[in-house]
A = this chain, B = another copy of it.
Amino acid sequence: MEQINDIQVVPCTSSNYLKPFRVHYSQNGTKKSWDFMRTHDSVSVLIFNTTSHCFVLVKQFRPAVYMCEWERTQPKAPESAEQAAEEKEWAAAAAPETPRGETAATVGGGETPQPPGSVGMTYELCAGLVDKADLSLEEIARQEVLEECGYDVPVAKLRRITSYRSGVGVTGAKQTMFYAEVSDENCVGEGGGEPQEGELIEVVKVPLHEAMTFAYDESIPKTMGVIFSFIWFHNNMSPKYKISTNV
């Protein structure tokens, strides 16, 4: 059980991770502007273990997901005034003059109950950023499978499923999804990510016969990539693995 405590929200005036830019442009002669963020493209990998007939996912605490749920637990003003009150509340929580560590800046404590850490524990495909210019997408995917899940899978065994755009309003980055079949023999380590980079990743197995129930269970926080890839597997691999589950 994940224990999350001492939540403090502060404004983020300069971040190594979130770098907002504004683009001014002309679309068919009309001047426009848009705020966006730079981000790297990414790869994700649906891993299927043919020895245990399980999908291999990663599970980690996602502060952004947790904060969404935390916000839902905060007291709400009546409908009409809600948005203004909400803004005020966050502005107060994130006031620049509030020094870290003071009781006044601590949110989620006091009288308002705080959601359990489990609401931020998210199931995802093994994935990583395309931030190494000298590696192909397949090579980056291979590295992530090894680092996060502990399987050593040859690049040639990675099958490209498709690519698409994520966060089209804000980042618009390209995500490419792969499929990798592994066996217990390919398992060369524990996985778990790079602790020195702050990664705390748990490797989770989802048995094939439970996959569709898992995919559509809305009480389990997960990404669309998990749901989509499970269904892709069902449609494309089911003759090979004789799945009889309903979708």
Contact = CB atoms under 8 A, between A and B. Distances in A.
A227 B227 contact: no
Interface in A24-48: 24-29, 31-32, 34-38, 41
A22 B4 contact: no
A35 B23 contact: no
A62 interface: yes
B247 A83 contact: no
Given A8-B24, A64-B172, A67-B23, A90 B38 contact: yes
A75 to B, nearest CB: 13
Contacts of A15: 20, 22, 35
A64 B90 contact: no
A223 B164 contact: yes
A18 interface: yes
Interface in A81-137: 82-83, 90, 94, 100, 117, 120, 122, 124, 131, 133-134
A73 to B, nearest CB: 14
Interface stretch (A49-57, A147-155, A231-239): A231-239
A36 B166 contact: no
Given A83-B133, A166-B167, A228-B227, A34 B63 contact: yes
Interface of A: 2-12, 15-18, 20-29, 31-32, 34-38, 41, 61-68, 71, 76, 79, 82-83, 90, 94, 100, 117, 120, 122, 124, 131, 133-134, 162-175, 198, 200, 215-216, 218, 221-228, 231-232, 234-236, 247
25 contacts: A2-B27, A3-B26, A10-B24, A15-B20, A17-B35, A18-B20, A21-B94, A23-B63, A32-B198, A34-B63, A37-B170, A38-B90, A62-B165, A64-B167, A65-B168, A66-B172, A162-B216, A164-B226, A165-B221, A165-B222, A165-B223, A167-B170, A231-B232, A232-B247, A236-B247
